[in-house]
Amino acid sequence: MDILGTTLRVCVDDLEAAVVFYERLAGAKALRFERGGVQVAAVGCFLLMSGPEAELEVLRKVAATIAVKDVDEAHRLLSELGARVVAGPVPTPVGRNLIAMHPDGVVYEYVDRNVG
């Protein structure tokens, strides 16, 4: 499985203030979208999220987002290695994702850009 990069997930109270800080820090403009009532801004390697506490509580349980070449390949390998896929693979606006709990109990999101 090719790991292409990671994104650090950050839950914030004030998305607008956080975007200003992280845009300056990362030297990149935010890509904004909404998912499930949560406002999201992707800035460099940071994924800023703000929204209802009930939604953020779930999102905080995911340690990081890992970009891979192919989510199906990740699913097969994770299962072989004893990880438990708890959600997905499912389509997203830019590809597909799945959520997996590694044998050590840490939860990660795996994403690809394979649309369709």
pLDDT class of 1 with cuts at 50, 70, 90: confident
Q: How high does pLDDT run on average in the chain?
A: 92
Share of the chain above pLDDT 90, in %: 79
pTM: 0.81
The token pair that represents 87 in the structure block: 């959600």
The token pair that represents 66 in the structure block: 């890992």
Residue 58 has pLDDT above 60, yes or no: yes
* Mean pLDDT, residues 14-28 taken together: 97
* Mean pLDDT, residues 75-104 taken together: 93
pLDDT class of 21 with cuts at 50, 70, 90: very high
Question: Distance (Å, rounded) from C-alpha 66 to C-alpha 108?
Answer: 7
Q: Give Cα 24 distance to the centre of its chain.
A: 21
Question: Distance (Å, rounded) from C-alpha 98 to C-alpha 67?
Answer: 11
| pLDDT for res 35 | 80
| pLDDT for res 116 | 56
